[in-house]
Every structure is written in C-alpha cells, then in structure tokens.
Amino acid sequence: MTANPPLPKLPGYTVSLPQSLGDKAFFKAQTLNYLNGYQREEPNPIVKELPEAVQTLAATAPLTGASTLTFSVDSPTKLPQWVENDRKVLRFYGYFKETVNESNMENYRVRKVILYYYLEDDSMHIAEPRQDNSGIPQGIFVKRHKATKDEGGFFSPLDFSVGEELTIYARTYYLVDADSFTREYYIARHGKEQGPPMPYPDDPVDAYRTTFGMNRGLKTGVASPGSTTQRLDDFKSYMEARLGKASHMLGDDKLRQWLENNKKVLRFYCVWDDRQGMYGDRRPYVLHYFLEDDSVEILEIRDSNNGRDPYPVFLKRAPLPKSVSRIGPNTVGIKPRAQNCYRPDDLRLGQYVSVFNRDFLLHDCDGFTKAWYMENLGFMPEELQQVEIKEPITPLSKPALAPFNGYGTLEDSLQNCLSLLPKPPRRDMHKLMNKDKIILRFTVRIVETDTHKHSSIDLGRRFVLSYFMMDDTIMVFEPPLRNSGLSGGKFLERARVYKPQSEEIYTYLDLYVGGSIQIFNRKFEMVEADEYTYTYMENNKHIFIMSDHEILLKSLRAQISGREEAIRTELIRVDKEGSGSVSGEALESALEAAGLKFTRHQAICLRRRLDREKTGSVSIEEFLNVLGISK
C-alpha cells in the first residue's frame, strides 16, 4: 500500500501553529527573502509543542482516506531547486517496440528514443532522432511536462535505471544507456551506479531484407546500406524480365539509390597541372561525387589576389565519362553510358582522373569520404593517406646589377636599377644623430707604387685626411705652405671613397697610423694623427683594435720567447745618454731591430700608455717589467 500524497498547499488545507504554546502573537512569519542575489523561500516554522487535542487527533486519525492529517515541514536548503539544478539534465537512451499490423515483413518495429529529465523542475520529455526518408513522423515524442506514474505521483530520478523498463502513458520503454553526466550524478547524489550499456535489438525488417536479397551492398553478400552496386539477387531480376518488365527498369533502382544516399557526397581535393600549355598553371580544385545519382562536379579553389577572374564552377554537375574520343558539336548533349562513367571504386588517392582529356591528380579527401570507403569498399587507412604534392621552391636568382660607371655614387646607381622612379637612398639616422661632429684627422703623404711614380715635390707634400663618422665620408685637404710653389687647398671633395676595383668603401677600420689607402690611383700613407683622434680611438678600443695596448702586449709577450737578450741589447743601444729612458721613436726602432712585428699606431698607443707624465720618453725598466723580462 502506498502512502497518501500530502495535502495541497491551498488556503483551508493547512494548519499554521505557533512555534511555542506560550506565544501570544499568532501572525504569519515572512518566508520570502533574498540570499546572495537569489530569491529564497524560508521553511515553515516547526511546531515545538502540540496541543493535547491535536496529538490525540493525530493518533486516532485513520491511515487511509482524504481526511488524513499530514504535517509536512520543508527542509532548509541553501538555494532553491530551480537555481541549484539550473541547466542540469539527465539523459537516457532507450527504445520501444511499436506493433505493425498487416505486413508480411515485420510484426513490430524498434524505435529509438532519448529521454530527458530536467532536475530544475522535475519535468521530462522524450524525443526520437530523425532519420532521413524514414516515412515515419519523428521528433518530440512526449512534450516536456511533469509526467505522472500509473500508481500516482510524479517521476523522480530514482525511477530511472539502465537495463530496466519504464511505463509512461501505457507505453513501455527500455532504457539501454545513459550519458557520462547522468552516471556521475547518480553516483555523487544517490550513491547508485548505472548498469553497463546494452545493445539495441535487431529490427525484423532488416533481417527480412537481408534474407530475400533486398539490401543493396557488395557482391560478396555483405549488406551495406549506401552502396551503389547492383542487386544481390540476380535471379530476381531474371524472373522479372521473363515476366515482361521493361528493360530500362531492370538496372539500378534510381529511387532506392536516391533515398539511401541523399545528401551523401564524396569530396576529393585534386590539382590540375597545365604548365605545358601557354599561360598554364598548377591550380587546386575540389571534386564532388554525389552518391545519390553518380554525378560529378568540379569546383575551383580561388586564392586571393591570384589575378584570375572568379569562375568557381569548372565542371557542371553531370556523369563524368572515363574517356572521350573526340569533343565536338555532335558530342554535346549525348549522355554517356553508366558503365563508361566514373564510379566510387575508380576514385583513388594518388591516381589521375581524366576530365575531358584533362588529368586531375587526387591527393586528399575529407573525413566522411574516408569513413565511407572503409565501411563500404573495405579500404585500409593506409590507402587513404594524403599524397604530398608540394614542390620544392626554387630560389630566385638575384638580378645582376649594372657595373658602376663612376658617375655619382653607387647608392644612386643602385636605385636606378631597382625601380623606374628612383628614390634617394636611405641614410643611417642612428649614425647621423649619435656620431655627428666626430671627425678623425690624419696627416698623410703620397707614396709611390709599382704603377705610379711621383716627383720629389709630390713625395714631400703633406695632407690632412678627415674621416666623418656620421656618414663614412672622407675629405683630403692640403695646408698651404709658403714658398713651396703649391697653392694648397682642397685636394678631395668630401665623398665616400671606394676601394680599388671593389664596391666596398673605406671605413674607420681601415684608418690607423702606418696604414695606407688608395684614392683615385694615388696611394696615401698615414703618418700621424691629432690628439682627439688618438683619444677617441683609445676610448673605443673595442672597435679600434689598433688602439688597444693590451692586444699589443699579448702579441709582444708571445714573440719575445728566446729574444730577451736581443731586446735588452737593442734598448741599451738606443739609450745613448744612459738615462734609462728612451723616446717613442727610439723604442719603436729598438723593437723593430729585435725582430718584433707591430704597427706604428700600436707603438704610439703603447708609448702614450706608459708615458703617464707626458714627458715624451718611456722608462726602459718599466717597459721590461710590462713585458715580463727582468732587467
């Protein structure tokens, strides 16, 4: 016997008692308020003491009937049910068996359904997934509402379980599975674990069609819906022809093929290499094969900014013949025979498809096409792997620039080779801003070469070479000398100077005392520099390595091995006065006589480093100590 449902909460059906019999205020307490921004209903007050009359009435009340007194107390919760269980739905998969009358193929039909139970308001609805061309009205089977059980009351989550039957409105449903959320909910909330998934029963109509050869599948006899091959029952076709069936109706069942394969399209990605023809190119396409009528269409993949007119349809949807002997006005509109057209088993990755004498290479397909081939034609995954079609990119050779003709600058000539409207060459703004007014000045003289000889007057001339760090330009000026017969003045206008037979310019790394540069077939040797140049180069010795005395000392220490006595002898020889110190020129000549290799600029920087008091001489004892030679 089931318990009677509680009385409805309507005026006249409930009794409101005070919390204590000593209370004199019998007002009704407020039960509606807000908690954390949500509406909340407070539970009814609990009666602490019941009057003796009420206790006697409750004890003597009958157990059945509509007059039974029930005192229901709401359990306190943090949030209302519709907020706590918002958008939480239990989902079960099941089926029911529908009786089929007046049919020799089946006596019942298995219909699959999905049951949804909404925890927020204990409502539920049942839906049947739609199947294309089923001929059965499908969709929402039972609308969402609070369904009642046959014995009374509403359905709750405890009434559902995988593997059990469920009767709703005189129809029995069989639950075979549930989703992961539903299984986790039952374990966490009710401590109940749902049963394992169960298979759906076989439909009798499928077994009937397989038995009598009405399924369309492979010639091996395996039923596979969606295939486009002929019927398995060839004897049936023969008997139909003997009974007078038209010849055009003995072939494939076009209606059945359309119903089974509607909206099923095989998609292949292909390329057409037409680079052998004039203005040809290697272009990508998409080939669609429609299983419902064995037609083919080819669409062009348009790339942005490719310079081509937008013609997306390369081949209009139609049966595609495997070969065309000739194309002319007499062949237009003639429908090819079905056995001469491409079928799904003719389309394979890595092979060519002839599209009216144009060869298209199939190199990839989509996921549905791969699944269809593996399910219906028995292809292996290795046969459906993507074919690599990328070709190695040949690097473009840089165009050769015209040789420099000597007019203007090389940068100006380069701009004329790069564009029809030459622009001024860009300047290094970092050097212009940070190295402005930094000028390195050297005293230079003309020296003879094997190809150019000079007079004694030219060999005695002295020039001032100025190097501008801001733009790597060089200017040569000859100071005027009285009674020399030479007027002096500007010898070379400020400009960039290129090395002989090269497009490389002279930079600050080529300038040091003792070095030489060639300017327009004249060779200049740098014999001296001003104090600012020495100081700037020594402060930036990480760039000007000739001004780094540490590098010179390391080189000298490596060269003096076995020559210590020769160095002492030469230093004593140049110290003619016996003062224990020598001048910079004498020190340089002593080191050269000892066979040590160095540049004059390095010797000057070493002398400036050792001569801290600016006396113009270097102590021999200090120099030997620096080299690591005891006196």
pLDDT-derived band at 54 (thresholds 50, 70, 90) equals: very low
The reported pLDDT for the residue numbered 231 is 44
**Between 68 and 202, the higher pLDDT residue:** 202
DSSP letter string, 543-554: T-GGG-HHHHHH
The reported pLDDT for the residue numbered 224 is 43
Percentage of the chain modeled with pLDDT above 70:
83
Which are the contacts of 292, defined by CB distance < 8 A and separation ≥ 6? 257, 258, 261, 262, 263, 264
The top-scoring range by mean pLDDT among 70-79, 134-143, 204-213, 434-443 is 434-443
pLDDT-derived band at 553 (thresholds 50, 70, 90) equals: confident
Tell whether the model's pLDDT for residue 420 goes beyond 60: yes
Is residue 216 included in any domain, yes or no?
Answer: no
Count of the separate structural domains present in the chain? 4
Which of 31-40, 308-317, 372-381 is least confident?
31-40
pLDDT-derived band at 45 (thresholds 50, 70, 90) equals: low
For residue 208, how many C-alpha atoms fall within 13 Å in the half-sphere facing its CB?
A: 10
Tell whether the model's pLDDT for residue 26 goes beyond 50: yes
Residues 86 and 119 in one domain: yes
Cα separation, 19 vs 389, whole angstroms:
85
pLDDT-derived band at 70 (thresholds 50, 70, 90) equals: very low
Residues 281 and 365 in one domain: yes
**Between 564 and 477, the higher pLDDT residue:** 477
The reported pLDDT for the residue numbered 105 is 80
Handedness of CA 408, 410, 412, 417 (dihedral sign): positive
pLDDT-derived band at 251 (thresholds 50, 70, 90) equals: low
Contact 164, 175 (CB under 8 A): yes
The reported pLDDT for the residue numbered 76 is 46
Tell whether the model's pLDDT for residue 480 goes beyond 70: yes
Is residue 331 included in any domain, yes or no?
Answer: no
Tell whether the model's pLDDT for residue 207 goes beyond 50: yes
Cα separation, 420 vs 399, whole angstroms:
15
The reported pLDDT for the residue numbered 249 is 67
The reported pLDDT for the residue numbered 402 is 75
Tell whether the model's pLDDT for residue 381 goes beyond 60: yes
Residue 130: which domain range?
A: 81-207
Residues 298 and 353 in one domain: yes
Read off the pLDDT of each residue in 419-435 and give the average, rounded to a whole number.
85
pLDDT-derived band at 626 (thresholds 50, 70, 90) equals: confident
Last residue of a domain, one of 513, 544, 575: 544
- The pTM (predicted TM-score) of the whole model is 0.43
Handedness of CA 310, 316, 322, 325 (dihedral sign): negative
Cα separation, 526 vs 463, whole angstroms:
9
The reported pLDDT for the residue numbered 88 is 92
Residues 552 and 539 in one domain: no
The CATH number that applies at residue 558 is 1.10.238.10
Residues 380 and 261 in one domain: yes
Is residue 76 included in any domain, yes or no?
Answer: no
Residues 565 and 515 in one domain: no
**Between 313 and 224, the higher pLDDT residue:** 313
The reported pLDDT for the residue numbered 454 is 86
Write the DSSP symbol of residue 243. Answer: T
The reported pLDDT for the residue numbered 539 is 92
The reported pLDDT for the residue numbered 14 is 62
DSSP letter string, 330-345: TTTTPPPPGGGB--GG
Which are the contacts of 63, defined by CB distance < 8 A and separation ≥ 6? none
Read off the pLDDT of each residue in 171-182 and give the average, rounded to a whole number.
94
Residues 274 and 292 in one domain: yes
Contact 347, 320 (CB under 8 A): no
pLDDT in tens, 596-613: 888 888 888 888 888 877
The reported pLDDT for the residue numbered 63 is 42
Last residue of a domain, one of 544, 571, 597: 544
Tell whether the model's pLDDT for residue 360 goes beyond 80: yes
Residues 368 and 456 in one domain: no
Is residue 620 included in any domain, yes or no?
Answer: yes
Which of 92-106, 231-245, 452-466 is least confident?
231-245
Residues 491 and 517 in one domain: yes
Read off the pLDDT of each residue in 385-397 and give the average, rounded to a whole number.
87
Last residue of a domain, one of 544, 574, 602: 544
Contact 602, 532 (CB under 8 A): no
Read off the pLDDT of each residue in 142-162 and give the average, rounded to a whole number.
91
Compute φ and ψ for 565, nearest 5 degrees: -65, -35
The two counts, helices (H) then strands (E), for the chain are 16, 22
The CATH number that applies at residue 367 is 2.30.29.170
Read off the pLDDT of each residue in 471-493 and give the average, rounded to a whole number.
88
Is residue 231 included in any domain, yes or no?
Answer: no
Compute φ and ψ for 423, nearest 5 degrees: -110, 155
Tell whether the model's pLDDT for residue 374 goes beyond 80: yes
pLDDT in tens, 323-353: 887 665 555 567 788 888 999 999 999 999 9
Write the DSSP symbol of residue 238. Answer: H
Is residue 597 included in any domain, yes or no?
Answer: yes
pLDDT-derived band at 529 (thresholds 50, 70, 90) equals: very high
The reported pLDDT for the residue numbered 187 is 93
**Between 16 and 569, the higher pLDDT residue:** 569
Contact 104, 82 (CB under 8 A): no
Contact 88, 117 (CB under 8 A): no
Residues 110 and 185 in one domain: yes
Residues 374 and 451 in one domain: no
Is residue 40 included in any domain, yes or no?
Answer: no
Residues 378 and 267 in one domain: yes
The reported pLDDT for the residue numbered 219 is 42
Instruction: Determine the distance from the C-alpha atom of residue 588 to the mean position of all C-alpha atoms in its chain, rounded to a whole number.
Output: 66
Tell whether the model's pLDDT for residue 5 goes beyond 70: no
Is residue 59 included in any domain, yes or no?
Answer: no
pLDDT-derived band at 240 (thresholds 50, 70, 90) equals: confident
Strand partners, 297: 288
